[in-house]
Amino acid sequence: MKESLFRPRGIAIAGASRDPAKVGHQVLHNLLAVGYPGQIALVHPQASSILGVQAYPDLAAVPISVEMLILALPADTTPTMVEAIQRRRRERGDLKVVVALAGGFAETRTEEGERLQEMLADGCRTAGVRLLGPNCVGVIDHRNRLDTSFLSVMHRRPSGISVLSQSGSMAAWMAMEWGARPTPVGLNKFISLGNMADMSLPELVGDLSDDPTTRAIGIYLEGMSDVQPFLDAARRASRRKPVVVMKAGRTETGAQAALQHTGAPPGSDELYEQAFPANGLLRVRRVDDFVSTLTTFDRLPLPLGSRLAVLSNSGGAGVCTLDVLADQGVSLARFSPASLTMMRSVLPHFAVVGNPDGYVDMTGGVGPRQVAQAVATALRDPGVDAVFHLFMPTNFNDTEAMAEELLRLLPGLKRNSLEKPLFLVLLGGQSTAQARQLLEEHGMMTYSSPEQAAISFAAMARYAASRQLVRHV
Amino acid sequence: MKESLFRPRGIAIAGASRDPAKVGHQVLHNLLAVGYPGQIALVHPQASSILGVQAYPDLAAVPISVEMLILALPADTTPTMVEAIQRRRRERGDLKVVVALAGGFAETRTEEGERLQEMLADGCRTAGVRLLGPNCVGVIDHRNRLDTSFLSVMHRRPSGISVLSQSGSMAAWMAMEWGARPTPVGLNKFISLGNMADMSLPELVGDLSDDPTTRAIGIYLEGMSDVQPFLDAARRASRRKPVVVMKAGRTETGAQAALQHTGAPPGSDELYEQAFPANGLLRVRRVDDFVSTLTTFDRLPLPLGSRLAVLSNSGGAGVCTLDVLADQGVSLARFSPASLTMMRSVLPHFAVVGNPDGYVDMTGGVGPRQVAQAVATALRDPGVDAVFHLFMPTNFNDTEAMAEELLRLLPGLKRNSLEKPLFLVLLGGQSTAQARQLLEEHGMMTYSSPEQAAISFAAMARYAASRQLVRHV
């Protein structure tokens, strides 16, 4: 783990600005807003202070200890900054990490851009300073109250999810989706990869793998020049925690745009399709699936196997969900005779129990208490590894009442079956918002579509299976 | 068109109840709530009135004209009710349609259930009365202020979308998703198919095809015994308006559950996969796609071709969207030299314009006015049939400001390019809610994910192409 990247003692910002529209202002603003606990100093030719933070005319003059330097200056200042970095190392020896935000380097695929990037990377290397970027939005570590980014959308309560992203705006999009969940989810660590002139994807995957507060790793990729070191690092990481990857630029036009965007070669998607699962990586294709799969890994216990029970109070939604689960290669559980008897006695006589195996159409006429009892029975069944509970508000059953019955029964359930994940799929748009919030505040995980739940469970089942393999080897 | 189904003169409800938890109460409640303009009477052995509506001991005693009878009684009352229906026809001759809500008929696949259904269907046929159901949630026509259902979730402002569904709860789910849109969407007509003992899917598809207020038809299916008549009706309908179908029970387990649910044979999905497109049907696989595709057809003009321009202020989201569009087989436009020049002069110098063809990465640094100008340019380009405008709020550009700039420019645009659909994809969860509402209140269509927009556009392009074929034949 890079202490100086996630918990630097002292930060200097070169390029801080008084103008709220400028990146150099927003970075300082974010750092103050998250309550960074160390000292901050600015490097600014004229200003004496911005937002109450003391400024100095050059880096050499900064009196505090500076472990991290944030560069919020255009690419053409690189020669001057490299000199300043090397001088600081010589004179003070405190600088350890440079975070270079600006674009205009190798991603432009121009000679000038490549020359400046090489100069920056070489300058840092010879000075013994590590470099994140350039062309990145920085690093966020909510646990350590660090935010060097100019994003304004990250929820701050840290979860166990850490994300590496080759695109800053994708990270912003994902952060907004996480923030819009029934209980907003903040990331644990977020690292914007940028051009990876020094700190590389494999190295940072290794860092997150070692990080005890990271329970699940998410990676957004568009391309890279050397795939094998990444696959090696990901394989090692996935033995310790789930690694979910969204690789864009899958198609010809997507790849062409990706090359313009990050400057990194997108590579053949067929290769990735084989290499990802072979190296333990869990691939998703949509941002909503990325968000819900990682949140699932963070919140729910891993199932011991892949035998899933599905209970629905909507026949139609049940059919659709079984379709989606079959698409994902998920196999259903087989209820024990005791569970079948119990559910038949609890549910209305027109409910369809165990046909197909592992599936219960509780029907729309079912009440809150019956639903909760059926779910409890499924969770207790030794032949069941995980439960899908599909629910739609009806005139006979509102979602809040169902949620409360579930919570009444779940403390006991939790004691008996801590090991089993429960997928609460609450259908019906905004009408279930309150119940979802209530359930999530109790640490549960809810979904608004069968697809999100199915993709999340399939990833979990694949991961659990791979872990078992590792255990048995 | 069935006047007596959608605009009955006089309705009687057999099985009305004082108990709000009962279907027989909810039906009456809905009918009153939508402001049904005709007369209502109840058939009830004891009550003299419920919710202020007069009750009579039997159907023969109802003095008002009864064109529609709603049966909210259990299946075992069938013999009595058939007698009452036949007597009413003999004595008064006014009854034209029976809507039978209860289950317990052929869908149970028991001898008794099948016998009762045959008795009901035969009884109606010999009396010259049409039958909807049994085992359905009824019919809704918001334009005619009719609602015989016991659903409580349908938004009442009618759109041009009409839906036929083999599952009542699926209709409820869809209605809730429509109601949760930035501007809530109500259906035009909704018909719950039930067991189709008399009124059949092909016949009702024909009715909606003839209905001048229905702009787009949506169908949720789980199975049917005779596919060809449906395909014939759908093919004819799709020459007049788009027909979007969601067929569930696609997989082995899904089909098994579907058979238990509706009692209708789900059939081979390979057959449907071939037959749907061959007969002009547009298939979707997810409820969210069903809802957004139909809403798109209702709101946006049909494109004259399939050449799509994509503009994004997020490089990553742009790449993802191009991937999804390629998955859907969508081909990109080629900008005219004039458009390229114009966009390059308007956008920041680091924007990537026309690489790949038809795509513009406006970059995150772009401001509201620049965005609106670029979108306007793309819409004006004669080589562009439709435009995707992907937008993510940034520190340099908030969504409301962008939406207002767009509205400022769009009145002129509308005059010049009425024929071109604009797909506003606003990413970032709840943070774009206000802007989406603003844009939708002006009649536009917004999307919260590239996938929904891509699937909707692909359906539109396929439909437009099939219409061209028909025109040229």
CB contact under 8 A, A332 and B253: yes
Residues in a beta bridge with B141: B146, B189
Which of B27, B319, B448 to mutate: most A Cβ within 10 Å? Answer: B319
| Residue in B14, B199, B210, B1 with CA at minimum distance from that of residue B97 | B199
CA–chain centroid gap for A66, Å, is: 30
The answer to whether B340 and B377 are in contact (CB under 8 A) is no
d(CA A417, CA A421): 9
| Residue in B341, B385, B347 with CA at minimum distance from that of residue B363 | B347
d(CA B179, CA B295): 12
CB contact under 8 A, A322 and B254: yes
Task: Tell me how close the Cα of A268 comes to any Cα of chain B, in angstroms.
Answer: 13
| Residue in A241, A238, A201, A237 with CA at minimum distance from that of residue A220 | A201
The answer to whether A61 and A92 are in contact (CB under 8 A) is no
The per-residue pLDDT for range A427-454, each reduced to its tens digit, is: 988 888 899 998 888 888 999 999 999 9
Task: Tell me how close the Cα of B16 comes to any Cα of chain A, in angstroms.
Answer: 16
pLDDT for the residue A64: 97
| CA A76 vs CA A13, A17, A24, A102, B347: distances in Å | 17, 17, 16, 10, 21
pLDDT for the residue B205: 97
Sole residue written with tokens 């779910």 = A375
The answer to whether A205 and A234 are in contact (CB under 8 A) is yes
pLDDT for the residue A412: 55
Which of B169, B328, B362 to mutate: most A Cβ within 10 Å? Answer: B169
Nearest CA in chain A to B248: A320
Lowest mean pLDDT among A61-70, A372-381, B260-269, B413-422: B413-422
pLDDT for the residue B413: 53
Q: Which residue among B166, B257, B392 places its CB closest to the CB of A172?
A: B392
- Considering chain A, what percentage of its residues have pLDDT values greater than 70? 97
The answer to whether A51 and A30 are in contact (CB under 8 A) is no
Token reading at B363: 């970059």
Cα angle A299, A303, A304; round to 5: 150
Residue environment code for B153-185, b if the CB has 16+ CB neighbours within 10 A, otherwise e: bbbeebbbbbbbbbbbbbbbbbbbbbbbbbbbb
For residue B57, say if its preceding peptide bond is cis, omega within 30 degrees of 0: no
Q: Which residue among B26, B176, B326 places its CB closest to the CB of A428?
A: B176
**H/E stretch holding B464:** helix B450-472
Token reading at B29: 């409640």
Nearest CA in chain A to B398: A152
pLDDT for the residue B236: 97
SS (H, E, C) chain A: CCHHHHCCCCEEEECCCCCCCCHHHHHHHHHHHCCCCCCEEEECCCCCEECCEEEECCHHHCCCCCCEEEECCCHHHHHHHHHHHHHHHHHCCCCCEEEECCCCCHHHCCHHHHHHHHHHHHHHHHHCCEEECCCCCCEEEHHHCEECCCCCCCCCCECCEEEEECCHHHHHHHHHHHHCCCCCCECCEEEECCCCCCCCHHHHHHHHHHCCCCCEEEEEECCCCCHHHHHHHHHHHHCCCCEEEEECCCCHHHHHHHHHHHCCCCCCHHHHHHHHHHCCCEECCCHHHHHHHHHHHHHCCCCCCCCEEEEECCHHHHHHHHHHHHHCCCCECCCCHHHHHHHHHHCCCCCEECCCCCEEECCCCCCHHHHHHHHHHHHHCCCCCEEEEEECCECCECHHHHHHHHHHHHHHHHHHCCCCCEEEEECCHHHHHHHHHHHHHCCCCEECCHHHHHHHHHHHHHHHHHHHHHHHC
| Residue in A213, A218, A210 with CA at minimum distance from that of residue A239 | A210
Confidence tier at A364 by pLDDT (50, 70, 90): confident
The answer to whether B433 and B403 are in contact (CB under 8 A) is no
| Residue in A370, A375, A471 with CA at minimum distance from that of residue A414 | A375
The pairing of strands B282-283 and B308-312 is unpaired
Classify residue B328 by its DSSP letter. Answer: T
The per-residue pLDDT for range A216-253, each reduced to its tens digit, is: 999 999 998 889 999 999 999 999 999 999 999 999 99
Taking contacts as CB-CB distances below 8 angstroms, the residues of chain B near A359 are 253, 257
| Residue in A166, A169, A102, A178 with CA at minimum distance from that of residue A142 | A178
| Residue in B174, B189, B202, B76 with CA at minimum distance from that of residue B134 | B76
Amino acid of residue A290: F
Residues in a beta bridge with A191: A139, A164
The answer to whether B424 and B183 are in contact (CB under 8 A) is no
**H/E stretch holding B426:** strand B422-426
Average pLDDT, chain A: 92
| Residue in A59, A61, A62 with CA at minimum distance from that of residue A81 | A59
As to burial, measured by CB atoms within 10 angstroms (0-12 exposed, 13-18 middle, 19+ buried), residue A473 is exposed
Taking contacts as CB-CB distances below 8 angstroms, the residues of chain A near B257 are 315, 318-319, 322, 352, 355-356, 359, 361
Please state the ipTM of this predicted complex.
0.93
| Residue in B205, B211, B282, B213 with CA at minimum distance from that of residue B236 | B205
CB contact under 8 A, A257 and B288: no
Token reading at B386: 């439709």
Cβ neighbours of A228 (radius 10 Å): 11
Classify residue B302 by its DSSP letter. Answer: P
The answer to whether B167 and B222 are in contact (CB under 8 A) is yes
Sole residue written with tokens 């029964």 = A409
CB contact under 8 A, A314 and B169: yes
**H/E stretch holding B212:** none
d(CA B384, CA B370): 19
Confidence tier at A470 by pLDDT (50, 70, 90): low
**H/E stretch holding B13:** strand B11-14
d(CA A239, CA A233): 10
| Residue in A141, A131, A56, A123 with CA at minimum distance from that of residue A101 | A131
Nearest CA in chain B to A165: B316
Helix (H, G, I), strand (E, B) or coil at B41: strand
The per-residue pLDDT for range A155-207, each reduced to its tens digit, is: 878 999 999 999 988 998 999 999 999 999 999 999 999 999 999 999 999 99
Residue ranges in chain B modelled with pLDDT below 70 = 1, 153, 412-418, 469-473
Q: Phi and psi of A361, rounded to 5°?
A: -90, 100
Helix (H, G, I), strand (E, B) or coil at B435: helix
Taking contacts as CB-CB distances below 8 angstroms, the residues of chain B near A184 are none
Task: Tell me how close the Cα of B256 comes to any Cα of chain A, in angstroms.
Answer: 6
Q: Phi and psi of B444, rounded to 5°?
A: -85, 175
Which of A253, A272, A350, A451 to mutate: most B Cβ within 10 Å? Answer: A253
d(CA A234, CA A236): 5
Residues in a beta bridge with A178: none
d(CA A363, CA A313): 5
As to burial, measured by CB atoms within 10 angstroms (0-12 exposed, 13-18 middle, 19+ buried), residue B291 is buried
Taking contacts as CB-CB distances below 8 angstroms, the residues of chain A near B311 are none
Token reading at A51: 């937002």
d(CA A413, CA A372): 11
CB contact under 8 A, B173 and A451: no
Residues in a beta bridge with B49: B54
Cα angle B254, B257, B262; round to 5: 115
pLDDT for the residue B417: 47
pLDDT for the residue A1: 58
